[in-house]
Structure 1
Amino acid sequence: MHKPLLVPEFLDRARTHYGDSEAVVATTGERFTYNELGERADRFSAALQERGIEKGDRVAVLDPNTHYHLEAAYGSMQIGAVHTPLNYRLTPDDFAYILEDAGVDVVYADHAYAEKIEPIREEVPTETFITNDADAVDGEWEAFDAVLEDAGTEYDRPEMDEEEIITINYTSGTTGDPKGVCRTHRGETIHAYLTTTHQGISDDDVYLWTLPMFHVNGWGHIYAITGMGAKHVCTRGIDAEWIFETVREENVSYMCAAPTVLNMLIDYYGDNDIETSGANDVRIATAGSAPPEATIRTIEDEFGWYLKHVYGATETGPLIATSDAGRHFEADSDDRFAVKKRQGLGFLGTEIRVVDEDGEDVSQDDKSIGEVVVKGNQVMEKYWNKPEETEEAFSDRIEGYYHTGDLATVDEHGMIAIQDRKKDIIISGGENISSIELEDTLFDHPEVSDVAVIPSPSEKWGETPKAFVVPTSGDPDEPGISEDDLVAFTRENLASYKTVDRIEFVEELPTTATGKVQKYELREEEWEDEDQMVGQG
C-alpha cells in the first residue's frame, strides 16, 4: 500500500493525539497547546490564501526560534506553499538576492530583523510583508497577530504530491552566491523519521531550540518534535547562563549545539557552581566539526549529559551519519571518546561511501583519504534554478551520489572520520596535513578556548599550518601562554611534519549562525597578497 508522505501531517498527528498537551513554550512567556498552535497555523494558512498565495508560491520566514516561525512554516506548508527560511545573520543585499532568486511572494520577518528587509522592498518581487510587532519597525508591515485574528480558521488544503518541492533552504554562500536547496515532502518526511529514530525522540521530550530553526528546518526538528507530540522551548538568542537555567526550569531533555556552543557552556560551567539538569536526563547532539575528546569528556562526565555527534550538510537533509554506535564502545570507557568524535555510521537507508579521484572506494584502513559521497531518500532534489551546479553535485567523481566535498577515512566498521574539506587540506612540502587533527591537539591545551587552523603562505613549503587561537583568558593581548609554547605543544603531541608553525591570538573566530567556523574568511585575509592558493586538493 502506498500512502503519500506529506509534511503537514506532522502537525495533524500532534493535534489528533496531543491536542490538549503543551506544544510550545514561547519567548513571550505564553504557552500553547497543540490545538492552539494548530489553530494559529490554520489562521496563517487562511490569511495567505486571502492574499492570493497558492500551492507552489514561496513564503519566506526570517525569525529567531519563536512560535511565530513554527506557525508561519506550517501555515505555509498546509496550503502547499514553499517554506523558505532565511538566515537572520545575512545582510540586506543577501536577502535581496535570495528573495529575487526564489521569487518569494510573502515575507514574514521578526521585528528585530525587518529592518534588513525594509531597504530592499522595492528591489524584490515580494508583495506581502508581515511582522510580529508592526509598531517596532519602519515601513508598512502587517501585524502577524492581527492578520491571524482577521483571517478565521477556514482554508482550502490543496491536493499535494510527495515529490513536490515544499522547502527551499539556502546554503550559507561561503563560496559564492547562496544556492537554494530544494527538498520535497518525501525527503523532509523521511529525514524527520530518521532523525526521530537516531536521536531517540519521544512524546515526553522537552526540546530546547538552541539550533536555528532556519538551518535546514532546524535539522528537521520542526517536523520530528512536532510529529511526536513533544514540547518545543523557543528562544530569541542564547547565552550559557540562560541555557542552564532553562534546562533546569523546563526540565529540558534534548537539544542540539555546535561545538562553539559546547565550548561556551563548558567555559560558563567552569566559572560557576551550578546544576546542569532538571528532572530529566539530558542528551545533546552536535555537528559542524568533530568535538575534541576533552569536550566530550566534560559534557558527559561532568555535566552528566549524553552527547551524540551527527554529520551532514544542507543538501543532505542534513543528517546522514551518527557516531552514536554503542556496540562499538563501552559506555563508561574512555574508548568511547575516540568513537564519538568520528562522524560515524550512515543513518538507516543511507548509503555513504568514501571514494578516490576515480570514484573507487578507498580501503577501510582508516588511513586512505577520499571524498564522502552519499545516496539517500533525505538528500536534496536539486538546487533551485541551478541545473549545472546540480549536475556537478551528483556526478563529480561518481554518478548518482551527492558529493559532500568532505575528505574522510573509513575504518573496518564503516565509520567515517572527516579529515578536512577538500579546499582546507593543508599541503605542506608535499605532505597532506589535517587541520582537524591540529585543532584537536590545540584544544587539549588548557589555555585554548577555541581554534581554527588554515594553510598560510610559505616560501619554503608552499603553505604551512597557521592557528587562529581564542585564548581561555579571552584577551588576545594577554593570552596566558606564548606562541612559541603552543608551537612546542603541537610538536610534543604530533608527528614533526604536522606541527603548527604560526599562531595568531584573536578575540573570536568568524562563524555562521549555527556556530560553524568560517575558515574561508580567515583564508581570504591570509592569502590576499598571493596570486593563487596552493594545494587546494
Structure 2
Amino acid sequence: MHKPLLTTQFLDRARRDYGSHEAVVATTGERFTYEEVGERADRLSAALQDRGIEKGDSVAVLDPNTHYQLEAAYGIMQLGAIHTPLNYRLLPEDLEYILNDAEVRAVIADYELAEKVEAVRDDVPTEVFISNDADATDGEWEDFEAVIDGVDPVYDEPEMDEADVITINYTSGTTGDPKGVMRTHRTETIHAYLISIHQDITDDDTYLWTLPMFHVNGWGHIYAVTGMGAKQVCTRGIDAEWILETINEEDVSYLCAAPTVLNMLLDYYENHDVSTSGDADVRVATAGSAPPEATIRTVEDEFGWYLKHVYGATETGPLITSSDARRYFEDDSEDRFAVKKTQGIGYLGTEVRVVDEDGNDVAEDGQSIGEIVVRGNQVMDRYLGKPEATEEAFNDRVEGYYHMGDLATVDENGMVQIQDRKKDIIISGGENISSIELEDTLFEHPEVSDVAIIPAPSDEWGETPKAFVVPASGDPDAPGVSEDELTKFTRENLASYKMVRRVEFVAELPTTATGKVQKYELREREWEDEDSMVGQG
C-alpha cells in the first residue's frame, strides 16, 4: 500500500487521538487542547483561502515561539500553500529579499516584529498582512483573532502529493544572499519520524520551545511533538530564570538548547538557589559543535538532565547524526563525555560519510580529515532558483550526496567529529554569519583598505566575528578609525547579531601567490589555545 507522506498528518493524528488533551501553553497564559488548536488552524485555512491564497502560494510567518506560529504553520500547509518561516533577527532589507525571492503572498507577523515588514511592504509582492495584535501594529494590518473569529472551519482541501514543496527555510549559506531551502512533504515527514525515534519523543512529554520555531521548522519539532500528542510550552524569548521556573511549574521533560542557552542556564544556576526540574526527568538536545566537557558534566551531574548531542544543517532536515549511542558508554561513566563530544553516527536511513578531495572515504583512525557528506530521505529537494548552487552542493566531491562544508574525522567506531570548517561561515549563538557579507560591509568604510573576517573563540557565543583590518592609512598604529567605530558601522548596516565584535589592525593580510587571503593562518593563530578551530556556538 502506498499512502502519501503529508505534513498535515501530524495535526490530524493529534486532534484525532489526543483532541481533549492539553496541547499548547500559550505565552498569553491561555491553554489550548489539540481539538482547539486544530479548529483554529482550520479557521485560518478558510480565512486565507477567502483572501485568495491557493496551493503553491508562499505564506510567511514572522513570529517568536507563540501558539500563533504553530497554528499558522498548519493553517498554511492544510491549503497546500508553502510555509515560509522568517528569522526574526533579520533586518527589513533582508526580509525584503526573502519576500521577493519566495514571491510571498501573505505575511503573518507578531506585533513586535511587524514593523520590519511594514518598512518594506511597498517593495514586496505580499498582498495580505495579518498581525496577532493589529492595535499594537503600525500600518494596515488585519488582526489574527478577528480574521478567524466566527469563520466556518471549512475549506477546500487541495489534492496534495508527498513530492510537493511545503516549506521553504532560508539559510545564509556561504554568501550574503540567503538561500531558500525547498523541502517537501516527504522530506519533512521522514525527518519528523526520525527525530521522534532518536529524540525519544512520547505522548507524555512536555516540550519547552526554547529553540526558535523558524529554525528549520524548529528542527522538525512542530511536526514530531504535535504528531506524538505531547504538550508544548511556548515562549517569547530566552530568559534563564523563566526557563528554569517553567521547567519546574510545567514539569518539562524535553527541550532543545544551543550551547549559548546552556551557558546562560549554567550561569544563572551558579548564582541562584534553584531547582532544575519538576516531577519529570529532563533531557536536552544541543546541536552542532559539542559544548565543552565542563558544560556537559554540569548539565548531567548537577542539573540531573540527560544531554543529547545532534548535528545537521538547514538543508538536511536538519538532523542527521547523534552521539546518543549508549552501547559506547555507560550513563554514569566518565567515558561518556568523549562520545558525547562527537557529532556521532547517522540517524536511521541516513548515510553519513567523510570523504577526501577525491571523494574517497577517509580512514577510520580519528586523524584523517575529510568533508562530511550525507544522503538521506530528510535531505532537501533543492535551493529555490539556484540550480548551480544545488548542483555544487550535491556533487562537489562525490556525486549524489549533500556536502556539509564541515571537515571532520571518523574514529574506529564510526563516530564523526568536526575539526574545522570548509566554508567561511561563523556560527555565533546558533546563528550563521557570512564572513563575506561582513567583509563587503567593512569594505564600504572609507578607512578600510583590506579586511578578512574569521570566527574568534567566545565564551558567551561559541564563536564571534573578528575583523583583521588593513587601514587605508597603511599604518596599524594610526589607522584613522577606532575599533568601536568599525563595530558601530557594522551594527548600523547589518542585523545586530552579525556585527563585528573584535577588530585587529594589521599592516597586511597573509595571502597565497595568487593573492588569495590565507584565512586558515589567521584562524590558526586565533585558536591556538583552543582544542579545535570550531566554536561552540
User: Which TM-score bucket, shorter chain as reference?
Assistant: 0.7 to 0.9
Contact 1:206 1:232 in 2 (8 A): yes
1:99 matched residue in structure 2: 99
Matches within 5 A, 1:359-374: 359-374=359-374
**Residue aligned with 1:339, SS:** helix
Partner Cα distance (1:236, 1:465) in 2: 31
1:232 matched residue in structure 2: 232
Partner Cα distance (2:382, 2:300) in 1: 39
| Structure-2 change in CA distance of 1:468 and 1:399 (3 Å) | closer
Matches within 5 A, 1:134-533: 134-173=134-173, 175-423=175-423, 467-470=456-459, 521=500, 530=509, 532-533=516-517
**1:56 positional shift:** 0.5
- Of 522-531 and 290-299, deviating more is 522-531
Partner Cα distance (1:465, 1:32) in 2: 46
**Residue aligned with 2:395, SS:** coil
**1:176 positional shift:** 1.7
Partner Cα distance (1:188, 1:243) in 2: 28
Contact 1:527 1:533 in 2 (8 A): no
Q: Deviations over 1:432-489 (max 9, x none)?
A: xxx99xx9xxxxxxxxxxxx9x9xxxxxxxx9999554589xxxxxxxxxxxxxxxxx
For these two proteins, the number of residue pairs brought into alignment is 464
Q: Deviations over 1:124-169 (max 9, x none)?
A: 0000000000010111000000000143201011110000100000
**Residue aligned with 1:99, SS:** helix
Partner Cα distance (2:506, 2:197) in 1: 44
Contact 2:329 2:336 in 1 (8 A): yes
1:445 matched residue in structure 2: none
Contact 1:423 1:536 in 2 (8 A): no
**1:528 positional shift:** 11
Partner Cα distance (1:361, 1:416) in 2: 12
| Structure-2 change in CA distance of 1:100 and 1:7 (3 Å) | same
Q: Deviations over 1:412-443 (max 9, x none)?
A: 11110011211469xxxxxxxxx99xx9xxxx
Partner Cα distance (2:177, 2:365) in 1: 38
**1:525 positional shift:** 7.2
| Structure-2 change in CA distance of 1:395 and 1:46 (3 Å) | same
Amino acid at match of 1:196: S
Partner Cα distance (1:523, 1:42) in 2: 49
Contact 1:422 1:536 in 2 (8 A): no
Partner Cα distance (2:313, 2:503) in 1: 23
1:500 matched residue in structure 2: none
| Structure-2 change in CA distance of 1:162 and 1:408 (3 Å) | same
2:124 matched residue in structure 1: 124
1:86 matched residue in structure 2: 86
**1:535 positional shift:** 4.8
Amino acid at match of 2:82: V
Unaligned 5+ segments in structure 2 are 436-451, 462-482, 488-495, 510-514, 522-537
Partner Cα distance (1:467, 1:521) in 2: 11
Partner Cα distance (2:189, 2:64) in 1: 23
**Residue aligned with 1:112, SS:** coil
**1:347 positional shift:** 0.1
TM-score for the superposition, normalised by structure 2: 0.82
| Structure-2 change in CA distance of 1:171 and 1:471 (3 Å) | closer
| Structure-2 change in CA distance of 1:364 and 1:162 (3 Å) | same
* % identity of equivalent residues: 71
Partner Cα distance (2:163, 2:270) in 1: 49
RMSD between aligned alpha carbons? 2.7
Q: Deviations over 1:333-356 (max 9, x none)?
A: 111001001000000000000000
**1:529 positional shift:** 6.4
Amino acid at match of 1:276: T
**1:533 positional shift:** 2.3
**1:274 positional shift:** 1.0
Unaligned 5+ segments in structure 1 are 426-434, 440-451, 455-462, 473-503, 509-516
Partner Cα distance (2:194, 2:237) in 1: 27
